[in-house]
Structure 1
Amino acid sequence: MKVLALGEVMMRLMVPDHKLLSQSEDLKYIFSGTGVNILSGLYQMGYETYLASKLPNNNVGYAASAYLRKLGVKDDYINFGGDYIGIYFLETGFGPRATEVTYMNRQNSAFCQSSIEDYNFDEILQDVDAVHICGISLALNDNTRKLSINLAKKAYEKNIKVFFDFNYRPSLWGDKDYSFARIQYEEILKYCTVVFAGYKDARLILGMEPDKDEKEENISRNVLLKMRSKYNIQTICGTNRRIQSSEHQYIKGYLIDHKGYHESSEYELKVLDRIGAGDGFAAGIIYSILENLDRSEALEFATCSAVLAHTTYGDSPVVGKKSIYRLMKKDKTDIFR
């Protein structure tokens, strides 16, 4: 199987030891991005993975490309040009103090400055089984919006499955309001096979309201069911978290298809690194759908993939199928020799 993702490669600068930026003189860096993370997970599951993007034509860009190759992501469709890469600073929370992310330089990044002319999508899509596009690319600027919608349309016309993650980030839309965002999301949804979205996405972005007198426990499910019907989406997926305290968190996956609403078992989370965990779920869903797993197994597999993504350092999932199936089978062996 061959999977292509479109998206920005970012440099993550992390303050060590749960310190704040104001407390530390040291930073650790890796490269990341939604597409990078999902492709990394799919590579671990045995797929051939490619990223379509643009990196700066300098040593930082070359280092990022080398990092992708180390994750198993092929860089055949990466262009080099411009001077900048998007950056985010990560201050890891502790106890009741939340983790904070600060973005820098995104509008000037090589990816944000790229255009349709940088990509030959007809060539890039040859022999591709699935495409992943992130909603963040809709938010960044007109260039990345056009890229995302054009790629989704091209893939749709070639009968390639399009996986789309809403991934709404209010801070990235600048002065654009929900009504502007809705236009972009509604345009790309025409071409999507599987959508990763939650209740807030459906309500705030698409204006999907619950029915009057709806029971509270049914609101989220029924709004997403209405969203699937209105936009003719084959499958909607996502996760729900239950947080008792910073030490006790739980996660369930859900999937909505022509047979209704389905949930996974609930799993307890142990969080080493929270960033990118949702991408672990997305990789699990993409794998499960491409492998035609039944919906019950698909949900358990994807949710276990998300659980394990919380347990590894960095944004990109690096846990393979064997470990995921061990968790599904509730194998609690603490060391394998």
Structure 2
Amino acid sequence: MKKVVTFGEIMLRLAAPGNQRFCQANRFDATFGGGEANVAVSLANYGYVAQFVTRMPENDLAAACLMDLHKYGVRTDHVVFGGERLGIYFLETGAVSRPGKVVYDRAHSSMAGIRPGMIDWERVFEGASWFHWTGITPAISAGAAEACREAVEAANRMQVPVSCDLNYRDKLWKYGKTAAEVMPRLVAGCDVAIANEEDAEKVFGIKPEGFDAATAGGGIDSRRFGDVCRRLMERFPRLRKVAVTLRGSINASRNTWGGVLCDGRRLYRSKRYDITHIVDRVGGGDSFAGGLIHGLLAWPGDDARALEFAAAASCLKHTIDGDYNLVSAEEVERLMRGNGSGRVSR
């Protein structure tokens, strides 16, 4: 089995039940989640040795988090311990015309206190076939950004392919540096970049001509994003593939979903899914990233198939409560073949 490494922060997720607002909730549903951990869970489900690397406190909450990851087959051999708290995020799920909300409580978390030298990346990447990180990690703190740089450079030395989901989070860049200042050096070491329809603009000022996500609704023209992919590849010559997820937001309960993938010569466009009754959209981009990594590793040279797998995997994630995409590769491929009826399997 191929080994994939992901690096980032996992948090306690406290979600208001159903579609309740924060002010209504008198309890919260507790699970765990975070971008890179979500990708690791997806890949473990697809049969990979998925190694999630992070820094955690030594307490019962962190132990419960590790047990949760182990339940889904994620390896945590290289987790380092220190600091005093696990980050938390609170979720209010939107409905129809009311958008969802996220409130972070992750300042001074164990992961925010990580520093270069705390992780032996040479050991982590022994036998690895892939390394994945997201733009959330360098947004947490200067130390996390430097640790991420250290990881990317080690992966480059050891010839481990590197992917990055740009994942811009405005609420997190608070330590005196901007994404535009920090991200270029990190993305320069990547072989594959993933973004949503707004990330490239918010991080690098690259956007499709005449596109406004706020007014696009469900009608996003995927052909507009070929130029975004090519401009990213021109700016970062190491990149050999760029994928962009395309979410058409009709309202909080109904989205269209798909993506494009560019290899520098050709633009591939996935099937567009109409997701009419969203259960949970958090982790949708992570499920796309996990699906794309699987596709690129499983079917080298067949970028169209890899993209279709990623889009279908993420479509299914929207039907699952929680951060993790708890589907098998067989279920994803069934949807790719057009079996989306939802009939009971007996």
Q: Say yes or no: TM over 0.5.
A: yes
Match of residue 188, structure 2, among 187, 190, 194: 190
- The 5 Å alignment of 1:149-168 reads 149-168=149-168
Structure 1 counterpart of 2:323, which letter?
A: D
C-alpha displacement at 1:245, in angstroms? 4.0
1:45-104: CA deviation from partner (whole Å, max 9, x where unpaired): 110111111111111111111111112111111122222010011111122111110001
Report SS of the residue matched to 1:171: coil
C-alpha displacement at 1:223, in angstroms? 2.8
Give 1:52's aligned residue: 53
Describe the shift of the 1:58–1:191 C-alpha distance in structure 2 as closer, same or farther (beyond 3 A): same
C-alpha displacement at 1:238, in angstroms? 2.1
2: CA distance, partners of 1:12 / 1:317: 15
Give 1:40's aligned residue: 41
1:272 aligns with 2:270: no
Contact 1:52/1:78 (<8 A) preserved? yes
- The 5 Å alignment of 1:202-213 reads 202-208=200-206
Contact 2:16/2:27 (<8 A) preserved? yes
Structure 1 counterpart of 2:310, which letter?
A: A
Give 2:303's aligned residue: 295
Describe the shift of the 1:67–1:211 C-alpha distance in structure 2 as closer, same or farther (beyond 3 A): closer
Percent of paired sites with the same residue = 28
Q: Which moved more, 1:324-333 or 1:28-37?
A: 324-333
Contact 2:94/2:252 (<8 A) preserved? no
1:120 aligns with 2:120: yes
Match of residue 307, structure 1, among 299, 315, 319: 315
- The 5 Å alignment of 1:71-110 reads 71-104=72-105, 106-110=106-110
1:249 aligns with 2:255: yes
CA-atom RMSD, angstroms?
1.9
1:146 aligns with 2:126: no
Give 2:233's aligned residue: 228
Structure 1 counterpart of 2:295, which letter?
A: S
Contact 2:230/2:264 (<8 A) preserved? no
C-alpha displacement at 1:164, in angstroms? 0.6
TM-score (norm 2): 0.91
1: CA distance, partners of 2:45 / 2:262: 26
1:329 aligns with 2:330: no
Which runs of no fewer than 5 residues in structure 2 stay unpaired? 211-219
Aligned positions, number:
331
Structure 1 counterpart of 2:127, which letter?
A: D
Contact 1:225/1:261 (<8 A) preserved? no
C-alpha displacement at 1:268, in angstroms? 1.4
Which runs of no fewer than 5 residues in structure 1 stay unpaired? none
TM-score (norm 1): 0.93
Report SS of the residue matched to 1:30: strand
2: CA distance, partners of 1:141 / 1:248: 35
Report SS of the residue matched to 2:112: coil
